[in-house]
Homo-oligomer: A and B are copies of this chain.
Amino acid sequence: MGVDNVIFSVDTAQNRLLALLVKRQSEPYIGDWSLPGTLVRKGESLEAAAYRILAEKLRVENLYLEQLYSFGGPHRDPREAPDSFGVRYLSVSYFALVRYEDAMLIADEGCEIDWHPLGTLPNLAFDHQDILSYGHRRLCNKLEYSPVAFDVLPDRFTLADLYQLYSTVLGENFTDYSNFRSRLLKLGFLADTGEKVCRGAGRPASLYRFDAEAFAPFRDKPLVFV
């Protein structure tokens, strides 16, 4: 039984949504890119295994992680072989969003690992393309309905930072900046810190922080940010 992670990050400098892939070093699919995965260890929970893979590939402080789906058809892996329970390889997938700027790739002994823009993905091993696509759908939904963005933004951020994260993930047909601003501000869980930052030309922007307490009443409500 294995855990496979779909790990996303947003490169705000280049406006790209990225997925973390590792190159397989053994058969089957040797040399192909795949999702980082692992077998679950004795006594280890699924979530613990998911965090462990992530920590083996990435040094990162700020992230959001949740279970995605379990893929377990009998023909998904050529390694298929009966075992004591009469089942074949099962993959429980998790999806994560991490802060790109902080994430340090851990490249141990020749293990190739890299970020890949969602637009130009290589062919993936196993059914990992399906898993990744499913993870992408979930990421979009999560962003629209949950405050996951604030797990990967810095503690203090501008509304432009927030907007850029949203529009990079959700694509072109996203609300315009002005309306996004007023909607978010009206919700009342973005607290203006009073501080300003200058980023290149133009009027300085206010730094906001996410007020988790003020967000509490929205928990588990269908709250749409788009």
Spell out A's residues near B (CB within 8 Å): 1, 39-46, 67, 69-70, 72-74, 82-88, 90, 92, 137, 144, 220, 222, 224
* B residues near A69, Cβ cutoff 8 Å: 67
Chain B residue, CB-CB nearest to A74: B43
A1 and B90: CB pair below 8 A?
A: yes
B85 touches A39 (CB 8 A): yes
Q: Are A1 and B87 in contact (CB under 8 A)?
A: yes
Of the residues B45, B84, B90, B137, contact of A84 by C-beta under 8 Å: B84
Q: Provide the residues of chain B in CB contact with A222, threshold 8 Å.
A: 144, 224
Contact (A70, B86) CB under 8 Å given A144-B222, A222-B144, A222-B224 = no
Kindly report how many copies of this chain are found in the complex they form together.
2
A217 CB to nearest chain B CB (Å) = 15
The CA-CA distance from A205 to B220 in the complex, in Å, is 36
Q: Is the CB of A85 within 8 A of B46?
A: no
Query: Cα distance A39–B39 when bound, in Å?
Result: 20
Q: Which residues of B contact A72 (CB under 8 A)?
A: 1, 40, 45-46, 92
Other contacts beyond A39-B85, A45-B74: 17, CB < 8 A: A1-B1, A1-B85, A1-B87, A1-B90, A39-B86, A40-B86, A40-B87, A41-B87, A42-B86, A43-B74, A44-B74, A45-B72, A70-B70, A72-B92, A83-B84, A84-B84, A144-B222
> Who on chain B is nearest to A89 by CB?
B85
Q: Distance in Å from the Cβ of A71 to the closest Cβ of chain B?
A: 8
Distance of A40 Cα from B83 Cα, bound (Å): 12
**For residue A44, which residue of chain B has the nearest CB?**
B74
Give the residue name and chain of the B residue nearest to A80 (CB).
B43
The interface residues of chain B lying within 8 Å CB-to-CB of A45 are 72-74
A-B pairs with beta carbons under 8 Å apart, 22 shown: A1-B1, A1-B72, A1-B87, A39-B85, A39-B86, A40-B87, A41-B86, A41-B87, A42-B82, A42-B87, A42-B88, A43-B88, A44-B87, A46-B72, A67-B69, A70-B70, A70-B92, A72-B92, A83-B84, A84-B84, A144-B222, A222-B224
